Structure 1
Amino acid sequence: MAGGGWIVLTYREPPTTRPRRPMLRLVRAEGVEDVVLPGVTQAYAHWLGLLPDDLCEIHLAAEPGFVLERVGRRSTASLFLQALATKPLRGISALYEGLRGDERRYRDTLRGTCAVTPRARYSDWAAERAAPLPEPRGGMDRRNAAAATDPLSRTGEGTRDPMAIRVLVLADADSKSLAATLGSLRAQSHPGWRAVVLHEAPHQATLDDPRIAHAPWRDDRSLRDLVGDASLCLLRAGDRLVSEALGLLATEIGQADLIYADELRDGAPRLKPDWSPDLARVTGYQGRPWLAAPALLARLPDGPVGPRETFPLALDLMLGQAAAGVAHLPRVLAETVGADPDAVARADLLIQHRTAVAEPLIRDRVVDLLWPLPDPAPRISIVIPSRDRLDLIERVCRGVLHETAYPAIECVIVDNGSTDPAVLAHYDALRRDPRVTIVAYDAPFNFSAMVNAGVAAATGSVVVLLNNDVAVLRPDWLDAMVRQALRPKVGAVGAKLLYADGTLQHAGVVVGLGGRAGHILRKRPGDTAGHLGRLRVAHEVLAVTAACLAVSRENYLAVGGFDAEAFPVDFNDVDFCLRLEATGRKTMWTPAATLAHLESVSRGPSVGVKRVRFEQEAARFAERWRDAIRHDPYYHPGLSLTTFGEDLE
């Protein structure tokens, strides 16, 4: 495309459990720039972007089946008019960034204003990306009807086919809700389903569709009696599947033995991450719809299903624990009803179905898991890079040495050439504490090299990297991080960090956010729950900040520590987490460790030479981790990478 300016791309891709956001490579006279586009989670996706004036070539990286439907132009004037009409302050901010020559901020601010939609307006956003769908099949497919006199004692013709699906519907006294669910089943494009409606009490069923059986709930019946050899889908009366739902789930079930999709719950979108087992255990975020393969069902205990009230939650837990592979289809395939189970019910069932050594507990009205600590508690080495700033080093050391409840602490301060006499005198006082070691790093500032030097001097079995501008708020913060860091298959562990005004500074890093990596929900209220309530519990993320990062010494050394050559100042923590992830060691974030962070006050802002260095490290990061930038598995591909508020784009 000749020339620069604002364009709108409209494109589509087939649904898949292996999404990767499309990426444009813009070859400019002054270099190369990669731009990540919104993922396709509806019939179509749109991208509003600014092409530079010195554009020479465009290259596209996309998944098989990608189709570019339309390329349109938008004038700058029309975008500013839209911005001033809808979000005037942001429109003015974009104008200011443009006038002062910051192309990236100008572009992102204007795009964030004109192309990003709050989740509360999901229905408008989805309608703009919808397409006419094929007419659903009405009525009954007689060729596939199973005219059985006892539908629970046989699975019907063809149910050993891997595409055969048994749908269990939990019904209540509301006949309209049940009719809506059964209507959506009759409209399915996939022909191989059979349904069993399970009523609270004996029910006089109409025999208008031999694919649908009715039966009273019985606590003593086994799941195998209900499902036979088919795949299983569980619905509640009132749930409505889109007409392609079962077909799409059945097509993708070969990728895993449990697959779940997105939903509208009482009208609000639930846009889910890829499989996040810790989050699933304590929140049940996977919800409905889902499809479980026969091989998975065969691994479940063959006992009675138990009480109807606890069956869905108990089944959820058992499936998640027994699944060999779990996949997520990022499309809204159902409208569902009903509230999530309360914390007490979930905690009770977690105890009954416990396979891990973690103890369920209720914190702030939600369930979380308390992982064990060895007895005696292992030594923890807290590594603090620092330079001058007596106020900072005094406060962080006071918090670590005197305000932290953990019993076995070693504090390693890595000093980068402090000259302030007051700081040097404070170091002399600290040396009288046998828990304190001070390491001199006499070289130009290199954060990665400094933490590597600190870890080399440390003797603890777990290392905690802690910025000097962090303040301890609660005495149990370190206990919470160590419990996570000592778990098998856990690499890095991050904390909840707050700005001085109490707003969020760090609630996990989303790779791709802002084009490279960014802190989700930054500057939101400190008690923000986040989409799906994720910020209320410990859960998997792709990366965390090294401002407060715990990792076992063994895992730190296994990946060679921080990369001091490629990332001396920025992106080193994200790169470290991604290298851990590549070896099968996942990253966790926990709100049970909450601290305050002034964010790089001792380093100062990235301007001038610092900005050039930042852009160089950003380019290296993008080149090394392009695939992760295109798909952070814990961040839904329909959510914006332009803004930080879990918005739609």
Structure 2
Amino acid sequence: MHHLATALQQSLCWRVTAPIRWVGTPINRTRQKVALVRRSIAMRGGVGKTASQAVNILRNEGVQGLQARISNAERLLNVPAAAAQAALLQPGEDPYHGWLRLYDPTDKAAMAALGQKIEDLGITTTFSVVMPVYNPPLDYLRQAIESVQAQVYPHWEICIADDASPNAAVRELLTELAAQDPRIKLVFREKNGHISAATNSALEIATGDYIALMDNDDLLPPHALAYMALAAHQHPQAGLIYSDEDKVTEDNVRQAPYFKCQFNYELFLSQNMISHFGVYRRSVLEEIGGFRVGYEGAQDWDLALRVIEKVGPENIVHVPRVLYHWRIFPGSTALALEEKDYALKAQIESITSHLQRIGKPDTQVYPAPGIPGLLRIKHRLPDPLPLVSIVIPTRDRVELLSMCVNSILEKTAYPNYQIVVVDNGSTDEKALAYLDSIAKDERVKVIRADIPFNYSALNNLGVAQTDGEYLVLMNNDIEITQTDWLEEMLAFACQPDIGCVGAQLWYPNNTLQHGGVVLGIGGVASHAHKGIPRGNFGYFGRASAHQMFSAVTAACLMIRKSTYQAVDGFDETLKVAYNDVDFCLKVRAQGLRNLYNPFASFIHHESASRGSDQEGSNQQRLAAEAAIMKQRWGALIADDPAYSPNLTLLGDDFSMAWPSRVAALDVSVSPVAS
């Protein structure tokens, strides 16, 4: 695809039509912006309500907050078609709708093939679709039930609990539909008890092996239960299965797909990444007592947390397909979290009580500052505070090193740290003088390493000279900008199941340089969300949420010294590139999670102290190091658990993959044993 795009851009036709494109591009962009505004206003209940929400955001978050909301709305509502994918779209076709047509078809032939697959495998797992109902628009309710009835998979029932809806027509419609289909089971509550109590009433009449949660105004695509059944068949110990999801407008237009990663614990503590479509083993829900009354607004999140405590993360399965359509209309949680402020208190209480149950009562939970819809946690620091050793390789470039070291010495509030500068043969007189001057500070140690540049070897030499229990590996072009940076990183690094902790790094022009490392992008790995501006929260908030990544950059990385030593440090055959990725993957292989913490945030004057990897011998060396990585970590590079196979490997922007890397049907699934 890349070669196709390159050939197109070099063609005579492309060059001749350049003036037309130059004029047409801003016109098209303007049209897209106008369409986006119209869609947003319609979804938010009209001009008046949209204006009111904008005023509230301005009052609470300022102009920058409003700009950030607009930027994130663009990412959610407008999925642009790149040149490489444009040829695959039909005239006037929305990119997401074209993607669905190509890679997630639900036409008659595709559904027949899926149904035959289920029959051939002999799968008979039963599902109870549980639906609490309270006064929904009747057409939405009918559509929701009909979407269950349209399932390719036959082994289901739908258990509906009406929570004393004031509108008598709701009861009439439900009774009518149940009379026509014995798979529809009804409970009519005499008194309104809200969503948790109503869902528990529906659970009481459920008999399926698995419980599938559905709201009374949402939709299931016809293959939803079929793919859940396949997942349960492939993973017979699964206690919780979840899928990707998208939004559907009042007139049933699909948009804003959330292509999720595999279960990501720290991300889940920041946002409910499971949400829809969530399917739970019924015996587990019975064991934990179903939904807890009093957690309305976060009842699904609270339920999932308690299930995970019971079954363990290893029994959570992700199906990388869009199997749920979340209805967008004024007042819905799908549209705007600020319309249901009551949910925030329940969300915080859900996470807090989970942390208490697993033995972390002192961990704080609160809204992520300035980031709508995300929570953050902060673990208690060790007592006494451990010594942290900061290792900084350098050569000459005194203006960089002095910026880095001085910013640490001047801005670090954490009291117990040392700096180990590894001088890789500096010859510049000013640099040597600066090294001599900082060596007089009792917090700083300078060691000489007169060897050819080898980033891995320099770090290993530096670590050997450290005294700390924890290490920070830091480039000499990092500029510290916050006083509590060490506390932020240490709070995660001191957790027994955490390996490497990486920071959020910004270019001097206020665009993102590092938001975690995604494997596979560009062939081996690249930085997530690279280049997005400040105020843009990333793909569904992922640039701004603490979360697991397979790797993080060693431009600023914290880790226990004992863990560093256990994996034999950096591999010195990887002299320049990918050594930090390799190191993180070795740590991951020890059963530890590597973490990205956006609340430790600095400026990175990236690679200012060395040349480009794309020139001469550097290019050859980069290719050799890439080959080592592919040979060593090929399976992980092909399928990063912290990324979605529905997202691109051609860039860092979390745009859709053309094509998706999800197989049309999993031919590796084995039949049920007879």
Deviations 1:337-361 (A, max 9, x none): 2426654331122223333423212
Paired with 2:97 and 2:518, the residues of 1 have a C-alpha distance of: 25
Paired with 1:82 and 1:496, the residues of 2 have a C-alpha distance of: 43
List alignment gaps of at least 5 residues for structure 2.
Answer: 26-80, 113-122, 166-170, 249-254, 338-342, 659-674
Partner of 1:175: 138
Partner of 1:359: 364
Which one of 216, 232, 240 corresponds to residue 219 of structure 2?
Answer: 240
Deviations 1:344-390 (A, max 9, x none): 33112222333342321222243101111011211100000001111
Paired with 1:438 and 1:610, the residues of 2 have a C-alpha distance of: 28
Residues 382 and 466, structure 1, Cα contact 8 Å, conserved in 2: yes
Give the CA deviation at 1:199.
2.4
Secondary structure of the corresponding residue to residue 536 of structure 1: coil
Paired with 1:421 and 1:537, the residues of 2 have a C-alpha distance of: 43
Give the CA deviation at 1:422.
1.6
Partner of 1:551: 559
Deviations 1:109-165 (A, max 9, x none): xx9632379998322332344546228999xxxxxxxxxxxxxxxxxxxxxx97111
Residues 232 and 293, structure 1, Cα contact 8 Å, conserved in 2: yes
Give the CA deviation at 1:244.
1.6
Residues 83 and 114, structure 1, Cα contact 8 Å, conserved in 2: no
Secondary structure of the corresponding residue to residue 345 of structure 1: helix
Deviations 1:304-343 (A, max 9, x none): 6556544333223323333331111111112112426654
Give the CA deviation at 1:432.
1.8
Partner of 2:474: 466
Which one of 314, 323, 335 corresponds to residue 333 of structure 1?
Answer: 323
Could you tell me the TM-score, scaled by structure 2's length? 0.74
Residues 208 and 282, structure 2, Cα contact 8 Å, conserved in 1: yes
Task: Say if 2:229 is the partner of 1:250.
Answer: yes
Which amino acid in structure 1 is aligned with residue 101 of structure 2? A
Which one of 260, 264, 269 corresponds to residue 242 of structure 2?
Answer: 260
Give the CA deviation at 1:522.
1.1
Residues 376 and 546, structure 2, Cα contact 8 Å, conserved in 1: yes
- Once the two structures are overlaid, the 10-residue window that deviates more, 347-356 or 629-638, is 347-356
Task: Say if 2:99 is the partner of 1:125.
Answer: yes
Deviations 1:576-624 (A, max 9, x none): 1111111211110011000000111111222222222112111211221
Deviations 1:462-516 (A, max 9, x none): 1000100000111111111111111122111110000001100001111111111
Residues 263 and 289, structure 1, Cα contact 8 Å, conserved in 2: yes
Paired with 2:161 and 2:19, the residues of 1 have a C-alpha distance of: 52
Residues 587-602 of structure 1 mapped to structure 2, 5 A cutoff: 587-602=594-609
Residues 364 and 378, structure 2, Cα contact 8 Å, conserved in 1: yes
Secondary structure of the corresponding residue to residue 108 of structure 2: coil
Residues 343 and 367, structure 1, Cα contact 8 Å, conserved in 2: no
Q: 1:444 to 1:83 in 2, by over 3 A?
A: farther
Residues 131 and 216, structure 2, Cα contact 8 Å, conserved in 1: yes
- Once the two structures are overlaid, the 10-residue window that deviates more, 305-314 or 582-591, is 305-314
Paired with 1:389 and 1:176, the residues of 2 have a C-alpha distance of: 68
Q: For the aligned residues, what is the CA RMSD?
A: 3.1
Partner of 1:195: 158
Paired with 1:315 and 1:503, the residues of 2 have a C-alpha distance of: 38
Residues 253 and 291, structure 1, Cα contact 8 Å, conserved in 2: no
Residues 79-478 of structure 1 mapped to structure 2, 5 A cutoff: 80=14, 113-115=83-85, 121-129=95-103, 131=105, 133-134=107-108, 163-173=125-135, 174-201=137-164, 203=171, 205-206=174-175, 207-215=179-187, 216=189, 218=193, 225-228=204-207, 230-254=209-233, 255=235, 256-266=238-248, 267-301=255-289, 305-306=293-294, 309-324=297-312, 325-337=315-327, 338-339=332-333, 342-354=343-355, 355-356=357-358, 357=360, 358-364=363-369, 365=372, 366-478=374-486
Paired with 1:498 and 1:260, the residues of 2 have a C-alpha distance of: 33
Q: 1:222 to 1:378 in 2, by over 3 A?
A: farther
Paired with 2:17 and 2:524, the residues of 1 have a C-alpha distance of: 25
Q: 1:626 to 1:86 in 2, by over 3 A?
A: farther
Partner of 1:482: 490
Give the CA deviation at 1:234.
0.5
Task: Say if 2:584 is the partner of 1:577.
Answer: yes
Give the CA deviation at 1:176.
1.5
Residues 166 and 231, structure 1, Cα contact 8 Å, conserved in 2: yes
Paired with 1:556 and 1:429, the residues of 2 have a C-alpha distance of: 30
Paired with 1:534 and 1:85, the residues of 2 have a C-alpha distance of: 38
Deviations 1:175-198 (A, max 9, x none): 221111100011112222111222
Paired with 1:348 and 1:302, the residues of 2 have a C-alpha distance of: 17
Residues 159 and 202, structure 2, Cα contact 8 Å, conserved in 1: no
- Once the two structures are overlaid, the 10-residue window that deviates more, 252-261 or 554-563, is 252-261
Could you tell me the TM-score, scaled by structure 1's length? 0.77
Residues 40-55 of structure 1 mapped to structure 2, 5 A cutoff: none
Paired with 2:223 and 2:571, the residues of 1 have a C-alpha distance of: 47
Paired with 1:582 and 1:591, the residues of 2 have a C-alpha distance of: 24
Residues 290 and 303, structure 2, Cα contact 8 Å, conserved in 1: no
Q: 1:162 to 1:407 in 2, by over 3 A?
A: farther
Partner of 2:252: none
Residues 4 and 84, structure 2, Cα contact 8 Å, conserved in 1: no
Paired with 1:514 and 1:82, the residues of 2 have a C-alpha distance of: 31
Q: 1:51 to 1:335 in 2, by over 3 A?
A: closer
Secondary structure of the corresponding residue to residue 324 of structure 2: strand
Which amino acid in structure 1 is aligned with residue 180 of structure 2? D
Q: 1:78 to 1:499 in 2, by over 3 A?
A: same
Residues 162 and 230, structure 1, Cα contact 8 Å, conserved in 2: no
Secondary structure of the corresponding residue to residue 445 of structure 1: coil
Residues 2-13 of structure 1 mapped to structure 2, 5 A cutoff: none
Q: 1:245 to 1:612 in 2, by over 3 A?
A: same
Paired with 2:513 and 2:407, the residues of 1 have a C-alpha distance of: 19
List alignment gaps of at least 5 residues for structure 1.
Answer: 1-46, 53-72, 92-110, 139-160
Paired with 1:301 and 1:85, the residues of 2 have a C-alpha distance of: 66
Give the CA deviation at 1:49.
5.0
Which of the pair is proportionally richer in strand?
1
Secondary structure of the corresponding residue to residue 451 of structure 2: coil
